[in-house]
Every structure is written in structure tokens, then in C-alpha cells.
Structure 1
Amino acid sequence: MITGDVEVTEGMMAQSDRQSAEDPLPSVLWGLDPVHGVFAKLYIQDILQLKNSLHVPGIFFYGTHPISRVDILGTVVQRQEKEKFYAFGVDDGTGVISCVYWKKQMPAQVTKTVKVSDPVFAAQISRMLELPHLYRSFYDKTFRIPKDGCEADEQGALILSLQSKIKQFLAQNQVKNFYQRELETIDSLSCIARHDREGQCDQDSALSPAETLTQEPISSPCVSRQIHATFQEAVSALQEEGVIFQKVTGPNELYLVTDEEKQLHNVALEIIRDDCTQPKYIERGCPFRHILNCVRQCYGAGVTEATLQRLLDMLECGSQIVSTMDRFYTAC
């Protein structure tokens, strides 16, 4: 199995009709779309169906999003060596794509290929959990132009960076719950929110394991409104992603980390195990909306759809439940 960051070319595409009547987004605005500047993690079947730009070679569209580079993970099913490159086919379960790896990489070729040793399928499970969220939150949403142009784009990038670092902090420290004001006392997070232009905050540095939510508040009398607002935006984005949730909604209420809240896991699993034996659910399984309503009644009204979807994806990856059809689940 390999993972790789690759540039998209017409040779990788399926031979079906890929032309679009017109580019869905003017090229001068592509830089405002955060999907354009990254290696997009897409299913191979969707990469094969990307529509190529009518005006700019090397640019393809997934919906309204301009794509030039993709990140794939799959099993090598074909391999052929040529004088200047290796050609191989990669299968991710949704399709097979042809890739080329040049023996002598040029500076302009940003491609990277890594062999993945994954005996317990950890990389595959992580990918299975991540992709549905990316599709729901970014790829399948229509890109809308920010009202404030570049300033809004810069602020959006800052929030995305803080969102990513908070997620990393929660995972590294196995945080089970927190208040937002506690996050604002963590130096490695607050410096991102301050957007230190002098470079004193290294956003790419690893978070210290010693930093926990029990440390004393920073010495300043209060956190600035701007920093607080940036944290609020990042925390809200994590809620939309389903990474965190609140039992009782409110600006000052406790946030719970979905992956660490075992009581919620047990409640959802017990509901599915009990209800999938009922006559009306025994054939197709329990529908998502039914599970959500029961979880809210038994556990807490603040559980969101995104939180439950992330939880169900985890339970399915752990072979505790299985989806019988779109958003219908039964116990294993």
C-alpha cells in the first residue's frame, strides 16, 4: 500500500466526457478557494471524473472547486518501469488510477510517494473517517466568494490553522472535555490566534505534552476580544466537524471530545443493538434520524448530526456496527 501527493494530469482521467460548458469559477478567484491550494484528498473514482478547465491547462474541477493536486492512498495493483519513470496503478477500492513517478524529480514536480506499512489498517481506518467529513464540509459544498476578499481569506486560513492545532492538542493530550477559556490559556494555541507577524510563534512546531488544560491562566488580565473571537470561530468549526460537542448548548458550557466520550459511544451502540431487533428495523437496520433522536433523549439534547455521524463511522470502523444502506445501521 502506498500514499502519495500527485499532480493531476489528463492522462489520469477517465476517457468519458470531461469537458465543462464553462469554468464554474473565474480563474482570478481560484486562490480564494482553500481547496485550490492543497493536495485534495478525494476518492479515486471522483478523481477519474474531474472536469478539466476550458481555459487553464492542468486545472480540473470537482463541483465548483478548482483542483490541481490530489492526495491518494491505495494498493499498487500494476507496476511498469520505463527509462525515465515508473508507471503504476493504484486502487483505493473505488477505482484504479494510473500514476507516474519520475526517476529524476524536477523542482516543479511536487509529487511524493511513500510506502505505507499498515498491518492493523490504522491508515485506512483514519482515511475512512476523514474523507466523509472532507466531502460534507468542503468538496460537496458550493464555494462562495468571501465578501471581504483577501482579508477574509487570510482570516479563514488563520482559523483553519488554529482549528487544526486545537484538534492536534486534544488528541495528543487525550483531552476528554474543556471550556473554551481554558484553550485560550495554552500558549502554543493562543499565539496562533494572535497571528504573530514577527514569527515568534512557530505554527508548525509540535505541541508540548506538558501543556494541559490544568495549567494556570496566562498573566494578562483578560484575553483580547479578537483572540477570543478567533477561538470561538475555530471551536465552532470543530463542532461542525463533529470533533467536539456540548450536552447543553451555550457559549460558556463544557465541550466534550467525541472520540473520548465513551458514555456516548456506549449509549449509541446500545440503542442500535436493541432497536435493530425490532420488526420495522430488522431488515434494513436503524435509520440515522431515529438513532439521533434516541441519543438526544437518552444522553443529551446537544448531540449534533455531525457528532453522531463521526461516532457511527468510528463504531463501523471498529466492526461494532455496519451500515446496511445509506445511513441505516445494524449491530454486528
Structure 2
Amino acid sequence: MHFSRHTRKQNFCLVFSGFDLMLDPIFLGLDPLFSIDVKLLIKDIHSCAPVPGYQDLYLFQGHTIKSVEIYGIIVAVEQNHAMLIYQVDDGTGTVPCCLWKNSTGSITKTLPLGTCVHVLGRITDYKDMRQVTTFSLSQVHDPNREVLHALEAMVLRKTVYAEPYKVPVQIQQNADKLKEQMQADKDGEHLLSKEATETSTIKTENAFQQRLLLYLREHAPTSGFPYTFARADETLRESARQLLHHKYGESPTERQISELFAHSTTALVKSGDLLEVESNSGVYQVLTSERLQNTIETIVREAESKLSPAYGNGSPQECCAQEKEN
């Protein structure tokens, strides 16, 4: 089928209509690929262009992406006090996969060269070098999974990924109204939160824990923080003084304030709102749905890898038969 220059120009305009809107912070997550681990080949990771004005967001065939899924063979390993760096090769290219030592307690030793691995992580650039900041890296015992992933990535590249995301016409037509409404809702929530934080008197430990959690969700670094991180905030310290004065009837000591922060942090870990990076490390992360999902996936993969020698092959009936024999 032949397309005239006028027709190609119309199609180009249609594809990129609403492109600026797609990169608006309020509408950034509309593209379904934005919130998933996109199946890619390593050469595709290197072809992604950084999104102007954003950190660690990339454009791939008209889609805004951040996280990827790859398979490959470990061809080099580096290690320092902070991270393990696996150089992974899938036949189309190589990419460093950086695994922070304080991001998981499951990596106790390095995997050997030649190991086939499954990697989930976020595309990042460091010193002008493309890399994958890794959420999960697990050994693959079946090499066919790497081949299957490559085939899936190539098919998706020609089908799903080949269609650039377009902001729906209804959203384009009402973008200004939607932005005003969403900003008004956000400002209202922030105002209520701020008023509640600044004016209410803290009289129970549970109320102080919720205020501490709100502060950590807004200010704590995602990479992890010590329990003393929030102790420097004067508003929280005043809340701690209110609670302890109400409890003991006198001005609290610095030691009592520190103990309250430590106890509240432990309580938030037990309630599932915080996650201790490593046992007894004193470093914590705010538990988000994304981090919880990654943690669950890591646990499942580890359990699967332990079961795979006995149950990795054969039909379900054969596996059941093996279980009975054992």
C-alpha cells in the first residue's frame, strides 16, 4: 500500500498528538508499559533514549518505560563494599546489572561465570554508561527459558511495542480540567495532612507511629535509612515530647525521645509498614506495593529454584509420583 507524503505527515501527527501530555507528571503513568517489567533484549536497553526532564525514565518505540526483564549469561563479575555488578550477555549485547548488597539478604555469594540468570530491574545511567539497577537476579536452570524470552521479546517488539502509546482523545480534550481537579485534590490532601500534623496533640504511641510513617513516606530515601533518620525533624521531636510529657507528666529526656523513635520504628516493622533491609542491620525501607511484589517474587523464585532439581522436569502427574516415592 502506498502512502503519500501528506498521509505520512498526518500519521506522524496522529502518533505524536498528545505526546507532550503523555510526559506531563500527572499523566505519566497512563501508558500500560510504564508500570511493568518490559520484556526486552539487551540491545533494546541500549537503544532507549532518556526522557528529557526526568531521571531514569526512557523512551522505547514511543513508550515511556522504567523497568525491564532480561535473561542472559554472566560473563564478568565485579564486587565492592556496596554492590555486586554482573555483566550479563544475551547474544545481542551486554549490560552491567548492579545489585546493591543492602537491597536483599538473599545474595550470600557471587554466582559463577557462565550462569544463566533472570534479571528484573530499572534502567539507569551512571557516568554515561547504561546499566540495570537490579531488583531481582536469580539463577535459571533451564536454558530454554532464555531462548523463549528472546522470542517473546522479538514478537512483542513487532506487535505490542510497535504501537506507540496515544493519550485517549477524551483525556486530551479535557486535560486542563483534569489537571486542575487532580491538583486541587492533591493540594487538599496535603493541606489536611499538614494541618493534622501541625495542630493535633499526640497522646498515644499509635498516633505517633502513624505520624512517623507519614513523614517517612514523604521524605525517606528509597534506598534505605537508619531509624535515627526521622529523629532530626523538629515537628516529630515536638510530637514525641508531647506524647512523653502526657505519659510521664514531665519534660522527657533525650534518651526517652530516642527510645520512642526506636520502639516506634520496630512497631512499624511488625505492622508491615517498614521493612528491615537485613536482619539486625538497623537500616529500613518504607514498604510499598512495588517493593512488596518484588520481595514476594524473589521468595517464590528462590523456593522454585530449590524445588527444581526434584520437580523441575516432568508432568504434574510425574511430579506427584516422585513426591509419593520420596
Bin of the TM-score, shorter chain as denominator length: 0.3 to 0.5
Bigger-Rg structure (1/2): 2
Task: Give the TM-score normalised by the residue count of structure 2.
Answer: 0.36
